C-alpha cells in the first residue's frame, strides 16, 4: 500500500506537506533552509526581509523560559536586494520558498514585495506583526484600517499567493483578519509571538536588550489555537496555523481548528530538525487510523461541534 499523501493546496500553492518553518527561525541562509526542507517541510519561510540591511537588536536577544522562548531579534536581515540572490539560490536547490517581508511604510512594504516576487519566491508572507520593532515601525497588526491598506498596496505589486501574518496581541483578531482579506490576502497566518518579558532578579534588570520580546513555544499554543479558531470563522481564505506546534497532536488540533497548513519554529530548539518528519508521520498515522484520505478532510472539523454548541447555547441562553 502506498503511503497516504500529506499534500495540501494553500492559496494556490501546492505543498507536499502542510508543514513550514515559522518566519525568523533558521531563515537566514539557503543551505540551512534547504535542511529544513530536507527534514520534511513542504516549503520554507525566510527571515523577514526589509528594504535595507538591519543588524537587529544587540544581545541578549533570546531568553529560555519554562515552556518556550522569548526573543527580540529585531528583524535582522540583509535587505531585499541582497536577499533576492538567496531566494534564487533556494529555487535552484528546488525548494519552494515563502518570502516573509516587512516595511516601515506602505510604500516600503510594496517595494520589498515587488523585489522578492521578481526574485522568484513562490509566495509572500506579509509580516504585519513583529512585536519587537514597535517603536521604530509601529504595530501595524493592531489597526484593521492599516492592515487593509498595506495588504491592498502589496496586492497591487504581486500576483503571488499572499499570506498576511497577524499578531495575537490585539483585542479582536477576527476584525484584523477580515481587514487583511478585504485587502486581498490569499491566506492568513495566525499568529506571531505573544508579547512578554523576563527580568533577572540579581541584576534587577530586564534580560532582553529590547526589554520586551515575543513569547513562542508550547506556552503560547492555547492562545494561538484560539486565534486560528476565530480567524477561521471570520474569513473565507485559508488559515496557516503558527504557535507552539511541537507534536503531531498539536498539529492535528490546529488542523481541526481550521488551519490548512502549519508553521513550526520553537520546537526546533527542543526537538531539532527532526520535528518536521515526526509531525508529518504523526499526522499521516492519525489520518490513516481514522479513515481520512487527506489533510484537507480534517481542516476545520472541530467547528461542526462548535455549531452544535451554538444551537444549544441559543436554546438555553437568556435572550435580552
Partner 1 sequence: MHIKSEKNRTVKLTDIVSECRDISSLLFRDEETRGAKPGQYLMVWLPGVDEVPMSVSAIDMDGLSRITVRGVGEMTLRLNGLSPGDRVGLRGPFGNGYTVQGEKPLFVAGGSGAASLMPLVEEMHRQGTTPIFVLGARSADMLLFVDRLEETLDENLVVSTDDGSRGYSGYASGYAAKLMEEDVFDMVYTCGPELMMAKVYQSAREHGLPIQASLERYVKCAVGLCGNCAIGPYRVCKDGPVFDADMLSEVQSEFGVSQMDASGRVTRVEH
Residues that bind partner 1 (CB under 8 A): 24-29, 31-32, 34-35, 47, 53-56, 58-66, 69, 71, 73, 76-79, 82-83, 198, 200, 202-203, 205, 207, 265-266, 268-270, 272
Which grid cell sits at 163?
Answer: 499570506
CA distance 43 to 158: 19
Nearer to partner 1, 45 or 287 (CB): 45
Q: How far is the CB of 184 from partner 1 (least distance, A)?
A: 29
Nearer to partner 1, 164 or 219 (CB): 219
* Residues 23/45, Cβ–Cβ less than 8 Å: yes
CA distance 50 to 72: 16
Q: How far is the CB of 40 from partner 1 (least distance, A)?
A: 15
The torsion angles phi and psi of 258, rounded to 5 degrees, stand at: 120, 5
Nearer to partner 1, 151 or 193 (CB): 193
* Dihedral (Cα; 226, 227, 230, 232), 10-degree rounding: -110
Nearest to 268 by CA among 87, 22, 44: 22
Q: How far is the CB of 98 from partner 1 (least distance, A)?
A: 16
Write down the catalytic residue from 67, 130, 227, 242. 130
Which grid cell sits at 158?
Answer: 504581486
Nearer to partner 1, 202 or 236 (CB): 202
Q: How far is the CB of 176 from partner 1 (least distance, A)?
A: 26
Which grid cell sits at 223?
Answer: 492562545
Q: Is 242 a catalytic residue?
A: no
Q: How far is the CB of 129 from partner 1 (least distance, A)?
A: 18
Nearer to partner 1, 62 or 298 (CB): 62
* Residues 45/37, Cβ–Cβ less than 8 Å: no
Radius of gyration of the chain (CA): 19
Task: Say which DSSP state 247 is in.
Answer: S
Residues involved in catalysis: 130
Amino acid at each position: 500500500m502506498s503511503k497516504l499523501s500529506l499534500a495540501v493546496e494553500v492559496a494556490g500553492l501546492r505543498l507536499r506537506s502542510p508543514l513550514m518553518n515559522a518566519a525568523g527561525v533558521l531563515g537566514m541562509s539557503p543551505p540551512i533552509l534547504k535542511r529544513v526542507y530536507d527534514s520534511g517541510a513542504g516549503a520554507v519561510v525566510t527571515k523577514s526581509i526589509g528594504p535595507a540591511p538591519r543588524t537587529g537588536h544587540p544581545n541578549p536577544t533570546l531568553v529560555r523560559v519554562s515552556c518556550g522562548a522569548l526573543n527580540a531579534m529585531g528583524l535582522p536581515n540583509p535587505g531585499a536586494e541582497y536577499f533576492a540572490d538567496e531566494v534564487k539560490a533556494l529555487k535552484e536547490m528546488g525548494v519552494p520558498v515563502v518570502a516573509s517581508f516587512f516595511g516601515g511604510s506602505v510604500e516600503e512594504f510594496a517595494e520589498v514585495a515587488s523585489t522578492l516576487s521578481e526574485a522568484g519566491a513562490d509566495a509572500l508572507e506579509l509580516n504585519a506583526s513583529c512585536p519587537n520593532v514597535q517603536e521604530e515601525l509601529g504595530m501595524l497588526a493592531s489597526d484593521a484600517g492599516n492592515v487593509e491598506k498595506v495588504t491592498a498596496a502589496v496586492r497591487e505589486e504581486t500576483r503571488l499567493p499572499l499570506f498576511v501574518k497577524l499578531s495575537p496581541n490585539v483585542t479582536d483578531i477576527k476584525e484584523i483578519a477580515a481587514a487583511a482579506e478585504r485587502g486581498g490576502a490569499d491566506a492568513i497566518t495566525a499568529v506571531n509571538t505573544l508579547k512578554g518579558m523576563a527580568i533577572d532578579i540579581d541584576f534587577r534588570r530586564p534580560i532582553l536588550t529590547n526589554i520586551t520580546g515575543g513569547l513562542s513555544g508550547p506556552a503560547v499554543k492555547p492562545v494561538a489555537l484560539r486565534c486560528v479558531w476565530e480567524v477561521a470563522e471570520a474569513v473565507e481564505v485559508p488559515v496557516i496555523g503558527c504557535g507552539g506546534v511541537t507534536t503531531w497532536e498539536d498539529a492535528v488540533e490546529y488542523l481541526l481548528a481550521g488551519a490548512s497548513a502549519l508553521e513550526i519554529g520553537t520546537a526546533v530548539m527542543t526537538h531539532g530538525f527532526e520535528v518536521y518528519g515526526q509531525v508529518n508521520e504523526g499526522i499521516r498515522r492519525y489520518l490513516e487510523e481514522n479513515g481520512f484520505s487527506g489533510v484537507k478532510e480534517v481542516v476545520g472539523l472541530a467547528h461542526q461541534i462548535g455549531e452544535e454548541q451554538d444551537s444549544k447555547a441559543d436554546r438555553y441562553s437568556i435572550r435580552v
